[in-house]
Amino acid sequence: MPHTAHMTQPNIVDRPTFVSHLECAATGERYPADTVHGLSRVGKPLLVRYDLDRVRDVLSRAVLAARAPDMWKWREMLPVRATANIVSLGEVATPLVPVPVLGDRHGAVAPIVKDEGRLPTGSFKARGLVMAVSMAKELGIRRIAMPTNGNAGAAMAAYCAAAGIESYVFCPDDTPEVNVREIALQGAKVWRVNGLIGDCGRIVGDGREAMGWFDLSTLKEPYRIEGKKTMGLELVEQLGWQVPDVIFYPTGGGTGLIGMWKAFAELEAIGLIGPERPRMVAVQASGCAPIVNAWKAGADHAEPVANAHTVASGIRVPGAIGDFLILNAVRESGGFAIAVDDDAIIEVRDRVAREGGFLLCPEGAATAAAWEAALDQGLIARTDRAVLYNCASGLKYPMPPADAAIDRHQPIDWAAIR
Ligand SMILES: Cc1ncc(COP(=O)(O)O)c(C=O)c1O
């Protein structure tokens, strides 16, 4: 039976995809599409390649403008072949929200926040996981496992539940409580591990044989990056087919940064933009800044950091398998990597909420703190058009207490209320 249009997601209809093959990100070795893959033979991430000449014939600015605004409008350059395998939970295009309270304080053009907290499961992880789980369904995978700092596991659990795929999640034992509970409630088996995300990743790797699961760790399968790249496609279209001057991205595993960099190259190859690129800024927390250390050292790969700690749990990733791809994108773009302290992250989170009404997640707040630090240090100009990624809803994280109370049976002291 042909799949007909979703009532609310008109882009979930039969359209061709122009996937041609997969390619090792390190060696360029080719791999066939349409079969199950993890890492390449040399243990590096695989990237999905498309016949972009054919995409170019089909996708024009006008065709895209006529489609509803969501990530599935880019179907020709996404990997899922059969429409019935798309396990959508209503992925929306996320808004661009200027934050004047930041611009005004510095006499700068207000940075624009791309608010990814509006997606299903409240984070941008939905983009990557809807793609990876849809592809798992397409390729007949029945059981999946992943290590997570919280949001990725929540998205995986939700999409696996929707797809009828069994899922196992391993997270550090201090992962935000809401994440652990949402993962469990959305049907995954979730385990708290007394270690960091790398330790959780080792459990997933070690269990492959005994448990027969597929390892969905960041960049250890090829499709999460394809979902994440829609952040870049969507951004450029929303900006009227222009790239911003600079993008601040909270970098853990770096899938989003790598994905956006891939998106810009593909947009150029299909003639929708020229060679212009934004400067890509990898934002990390001072307590866990392997990419920043490598950037400063001029290294191609990052040394894992010991004792990683930060309130921005999503970017507490001591070692990233795609480190060379992150560093390459940052360098090629003329960008930089920058670390910010937890105090600065919380201070700006609280200030932007109180004075601007925008509740950033700590990782999103890290990009705002980095934007302020970069202005101070002269790394960007006050006239630069900057985009900050707020990767999750601020509602998912601990907030300062608010426990003022009124006894309605007593006279009210209005002076105390003012
Ligand atoms: C809220 C949030 N921001 C940023 C990140 C880091 O994303 P990436 O792996 O693309 O670097 C994560 C990942 O867990 C996250 O949950």
* pLDDT tens-place string over residues 47-78: 999 999 999 999 999 999 999 999 999 999 99
Query: DSSP assignment, residue 305?
Result: P
Q: How many residues in total does the chain contain? A: 418
Residues with CB under 6 A from ligand 1: 123, 149, 151-152, 218, 250-256, 314-315, 361, 363, 391-392
Mean of pLDDT over the chain:
96
Residue owning the nearest CA to atom 6 of ligand 1: 252
Give the distance (Å) from ligand 1 centre to CA of residue 151.
8
Query: DSSP assignment, residue 322?
Result: T
Report the number of secondary-structure helices (H) and strands (E) in the chain: 16, 13
Q: Which atom of ligand 1 is nearest to the CA of 253?
A: 9
Residue 259, amino acid: G
Going along the chain from its start, the domains and CATH numbers come out as 19-73 (no CATH), 96-118+229-396 (3.40.50.1100), 125-215 (3.40.50.1100)
First vs last C-alpha separation in the chain: 64
Residue owning the nearest CA to atom 16 of ligand 1: 314
125, 183, 261: residue to mutate for ligand 1 pocket, most atoms within 8 A of CB: 125
Q: Long-range contacts made by residues 413-417, C-beta under 8 angstroms, separation at least 24?
A: none
Give the distance (Å) from ligand 1 centre to CA of residue 316.
9
Q: What 3-state class would DSSP assign to 390?
A: strand
Structure tokens at 321: 């398998």
Instruction: Tell me how far apart the alpha carbons of residues 153 and 126 are, in angstroms, rounded to a whole number.
Output: 10
* 224-237 pLDDT, tens digit each: 999 999 999 999 99
Give the distance (Å) from ligand 1 centre to CA of residue 406.
40
Half-sphere exposure of 253 (CA within 13 A, CB side): 25
Q: Which residues does the chain have with pLDDT short of 50?
A: 1-3
Q: Which atom of ligand 1 is nearest to the CA of 254?
A: 11
At residue 290, the pLDDT reads 98
At residue 9, the pLDDT reads 84
Structure tokens at 382: 């006050």
Q: Which atom of ligand 1 is nearest to the CA of 258?
A: 10
Cβ(346)–Cβ(353) under 8 Å? Answer: no
